[in-house]
Structure 1
Amino acid sequence: MEIFDAFHLARLQFAFTVSFHIVFPAISIGMASFLAVLEWRFLLTGDKAYKDMYLFWSRIFAVGFGMGVVSGVVMAYEFGTNWSGFSLVAGNITGPLLTYEVLTAFFLEAGFLGIMLFGWHRVSPRAHFFATFMVAVGTLISTFWILASNSFMQTPQGFAMENGRIVPVDWFKVIFNPSFPFRLAHMTIAAFIVAAFIVAACGAWHLLHGRRDVPVKRSFSMALWMLLVLTPIQIFVGDAHGLNTREYQPVKIAAIEGLWETEHGGTALNLFGLPDMDAEVTRYAIQVPHLGSLILTHSWDGEIRGMKEFPPEDRPYSPIVFWTFRIMAGLGMLMLLTAVVGLLLRRNGRLYEADWYQWFVLCMGPSGIVALLAGWITTEVGRQPWTVYGVVRTVDSVSPIGSQQAGVTLLMLVIVYFLVFGTGVYYMLKMMKAGPSAGLETRESLKYPELHNRALDVLEGE
């Protein structure tokens, strides 16, 4: 296999750009809803700490939202430059769905974003909250349409083929295809978890550096409550998604599990192994008997089809999805542990004083993003060699471009992305390092007030 031909370079380019892009919308989706909750609490209680938290995290949201928009525009161009074959065949489906996303979500977000960011003293409090709420709703609507389009590529239905092109027959079936509800729930919860870990890690950083003011403690506490609720739900949704994938994309499940032979009477789970696509075997496998059946069929002797039952040209590349899935699942278990330990420390009154736990939360800060990327890679690589599963092959979707053209544009995108988005991420981290402002009313809650005397003196002067 030639890895530097136009086809593989185009795939690498899209994988690179989508990996950058998906992070920022996930941050925006989770953070927008968090901001809506903060402002709702501020209006309900009048507690200024909620407003301080809102003003701080809205800046993080604004940077992430801007980078998400920019990176998304690049991907839209790639459909025409690198994947014109896909656009030609499937454009009757993906075009309208992405148009609906722009008309119903992007315009909604753009229309209220300015009021949300700059309207605190220009509109009434209720009008401002309505703007924040509309931006949060807009991010969720955007998620709906993007996942509808991508889920159609995973489990297509409601269409007919006419003259080599996909033509919609039933839009309800197109949108609400078999995998859509599971993938929408899984992705939305993942975005909330991404935001929750960012907020928790920021709070942990400032707790470790001696801050004990209300905005810091409350951010840390709210994020951990969110993780305690969402992490078990995400595990449940992920299990349901796995059952759905086994039904509609069985070869993807076989590749994820590194399973070559169909094991009758109960399938073992490969905890560890190195799938070998040429030898059709998973080397150095560490197995747990019947555990695969229990997880993937919810029965002791459930049968899972092995990859050898599918033609070699229809098999995903197991060495990638085998490990990305395990990274995602392993981080999911650590997330659950983080939330449960936080609950135990909270009940013992040591949540804000256990430095070892705060270090652990700080290290877990990027885990939501890493798990998100690992899950996305598992989903997309597991769909290969199809762009529209069972209908359009990826090799038939690429544009008639040369390897030099694909390679040069890939190199340019790598340089520009690391400069532009690297700067944006650095700025976000710099803002998080500064932390939310400590209002005058929270002076007494500081563990080490001498660390903040200068900042408080400035506030008093104002």
Structure 2
Amino acid sequence: MIDSLLPSALDLARFQFAFVVVWHFLFPAFTIGLASYLAVLEGLWLWTGRAVYLDVFRYWLKIFAIAFAMGVVSGIVMSYQFGTNWSVLSQKAGPIIGPLMGYEVLTAFFLEAGFLGVMLFGLERVGKRLHFAATCLVAFGTSMSAFWILSANSWLHTPAGYSVAADGSFHPEDWWAIIFNPSFPFRYAHTVTGAYLTTGLIVGAVGAFHVLRERRNEALGTRDANPRARLMFSMAMWLLCVLAPLQLVLGDLHGGNTFEHQPAKLAAMEGHFESHDGAPLVLFGIPSAEQERTRLAIEVPHVASLYLTHSWNGHVPGLKDLPRDHWPTNIPLVFFAFRIMVGLGVLMITLGAASLVMRLRGRFYENPWLHRAAVAMGPAGLIAVTCGWIVTEAGRQPFTVYGLLRTADSVAPIAAPAVAASLAAFALVYFVVFGAGIWFLFRLFAQAPKAHEAGPPTDKPIRSAGTTPAPSTRHGVDPRPQIQPAE
């Protein structure tokens, strides 16, 4: 009786992978957008010469270094599980997944690692243009990393370009079809846009937090306007105005692709057990696989058919019309995670629209409610992308390779106590190490952005006020060593 209540090795392996993936993806979801933001800031500094862009660049560069390091560490740990807990999946899908992961390392990770040092420490050593090129290459590397990882993940959802050997392993036949599998373009666009929104919300929250501090200082009689905080907030809200509505369109396209290729996942997302002509949008309910219905459903007629089939009376199949062994393992998890993601997306659009209204009314920096809302929405992007991954991966169950290889047939022959021990170790180490890293990030967020003492690189030697210029030689170069002033 007690043994039947204990989780199996499969349950523990699935939970461990979910735990590690959620922790890991928090950091790339932030750094993908932050790398591009840094490139934009440095480009604007080079173009305009305004020091405020350089100040904000240096402020976020420290934060990027820490978040990037934590993302690398968590990503390396995650990859080991393919050999420990999912060796059967590695053996059967390795000929396809392995090269895609290898391309990510050879192109994206080496590009990031090769130029990261120049980006972090080379501003006053390699020259402005070369440093800007390094920043752009790091930003490009983060996007390339997402490209290969999402290609591999998308192939598991919509496999293409393969053949199946006698032993059940998958072998590549058409690499173009494998890389650009049916769901990859939609998944890549949706995920990368989500990463940019995640970064924009965090940057906007930090900027709004320090703008609110301005108001507190003004109330105390000490006006302390911070143009760097205002710049952060303004750029983030412009990003939100553009990308939040775009993400709604990309999500609709991605949903249409899921409707075509993974109907069971789509039905679980919508909470539809019955097929419908003119399917309703289920705003809220409690789906039950045992009862085969969504209890306490609050519905809006025809709306689901409208955005899924673009027809008022379009046919939307329900779970009952699909094989029971294709249903997602945890339908309520998929259902509620999808609604959290969409609800946060609506709030992002609302915040962007409110910021635009306040900007047009000339109260963009004077409206405290807008700033408080931006601070409150700071973690919304991280929550939304996490829920998106939950919908994606929980909706793929009970398969690892959708429709072809079941999760129960992919797990390694390992005992439950061994998986439980490694899971406990992961949980302990992750909460200590990454908890400390996140705490330090919040310490950096709380520091107001300021003008840095170290100025931009110049073409002429820097000398302190009151020092005597070094004598020049016949060729215009002083052969004696010169003492540079302290920065």
Q: How does the TM-score come out when normalised to structure 2?
A: 0.89
Q: 1:429 aligns with which of 442, 456, 463?
A: 442
- How many Å separate the matches in 1 of 2:282 and 2:97? 37
SS at structure 1 position matched to 2:290 = coil
CA distance in 1, matches of 2:202, 2:137: 23
Aligned to 2:433: 420
**1:2 offset after TM fit, Å?**
5.4
- Give the one of 191, 207, 216 matched to 1:203: 207
Deviation at 1:120, TM superposition (A): 1.2
User: In the TM superposition, what whole-angstrom CA distance separates every residue of 1:316-356 from its partner, at most 9, and x where no partner exists?
Assistant: 12101110000000000000000000001011111111111
| CA positional deviation for 1:212 | 2.5
Q: Tell me, what secondary structure is at the counterpart of 1:437?
A: coil
Q: Which residue of 1 aligns with 2:226?
A: 213
Residue by residue, what CA displacement relative to the aligned partner does 1:88-118 show, whole Å, maximum 9, x if unpaired? Answer: 1100011000000000000000000000000
Residue matched to 2:74: 71
- Equivalent residue in structure 2 for 1:136, among 126, 136, 139: 139
* Residue number in structure 1 paired with 2:30: 27
Alignment correspondent of 1:446: none
Match of 1:300 in 2: 312
Deviations 1:110-134 (Å, cap 9, x if unpaired)?
0000000000111110000000000
Matched, 1:365 2:378: yes
Alpha-carbon deviations, 1:287-307, whole Å to 9, x = none?
111111112111100111110
Aligned to 1:454: none
Q: What is the root-mean-square deviation of aligned Cα atoms in Å? A: 1.2
Name the CA distance, whole Å, in 2 between partners of 1:134 and 1:335. 29
The answer to whether the 8 A contact 2:211-2:226 is kept is no
CA contact (8 A) 1:3 1:9 kept: no
2:87: which partner in 1?
A: 84
User: Residue 166 of structure 1 is aligned with which of 167, 170, 173?
Assistant: 170
- CA 1:330–1:104 in 2, change beyond 3 Å: closer, same or farther? same
8 Å CA contact retained: 1:207, 1:358: yes
Q: Deviations over 1:377-420 (max 9, x none)?
A: 00110011000101111011101111111111111111100100
Q: Distance in 1 between matches of 2:187 and 2:448?
A: 34
Q: Which amino acid aligns with 1:360?
A: A
Question: Separation in 1 of the partners of 2:290 and 2:419?
Answer: 28
Runs of 4+ in 1 over 3 A off after TM superposition: none
Partner of 1:115: 118
- The secondary structure found in structure 2 opposite 1:93 is helix
* Partners of 2:451 and 2:377 in 1: CA distance: 25
Aligned residue for 2:466?
none
Cα offset for 1:310?
A: 1.7
Please state whether the residue corresponding to 1:123 is helix, strand or coil.
coil
Contact 1:224 1:342 in 2 (8 A): yes
User: Separation in 1 of the partners of 2:345 and 2:155?
Assistant: 26
Aligned match of 1:309? 321
Distance in 2, Cα, partners of 1:223 & 1:134: 22
How far 1:166 moved relative to its partner?
0.2
Which has the higher Rg, Structure 1 or Structure 2?
2
1:392 corresponds, among 374, 385, 405, to 405
What is the alpha-carbon distance in structure 1 between the residues aligned to residue 257 and residue 87 of structure 2? 30
Paired residue secondary structure (1:270) = strand
- Unmatched 5+ stretches in structure 1: 441-460
Question: How far apart, CA to CA, are the structure 2 residues paired with 1:36 and 1:438?
Answer: 19
Of 32, 35, 39, which aligns to 1:36? 39
Match of 1:175 among 157, 164, 179: 179
Distance in 1 (CA, whole Å) between partners of 2:70 and 2:213 is 29
Once residues 448 and 246 of structure 2 are traced to their aligned partners in structure 1, the CA distance between those partners, rounded to angstroms, is 30
Q: Which of 1 and 2 has higher RCO (CA within 8 Å, sep 6+)?
A: 1
Q: Which of 270, 289, 308 is residue 301 of structure 2 equivalent to?
A: 289
For the residue of structure 2 that corresponds to 1:260, the secondary structure is: coil
TM value normalised by structure 1: 0.94
> Matched residues, percent identical?
51
Amino acid across the alignment from 1:9: L
AA matched with 2:205: A
AA aligned opposite 2:14: R
Q: 1:274 aligns with which of 277, 286, 294?
A: 286
Q: Show CA shifts across 1:40-75 (max 9, x none).
A: 000011101101000010111111100000000111
CA deviation profile, 1:434-455 (whole Å, cap 9, x unmatched): 0321469xxxxxxxxxxxxxxx
Q: Is the 8 A contact 1:56 1:435 kept in 2?
A: no
One-letter amino acid of the structure 2 residue matched with residue 175 of structure 1: I
Greater fraction of residues in helix: 1
Q: Which amino acid aligns with 1:103?
A: L
2:417 to 404, 408, 420: 404
Aligned to 2:48: 45
2:435 counterpart letter in structure 1: G
1:8 and 2:11 correspond: yes
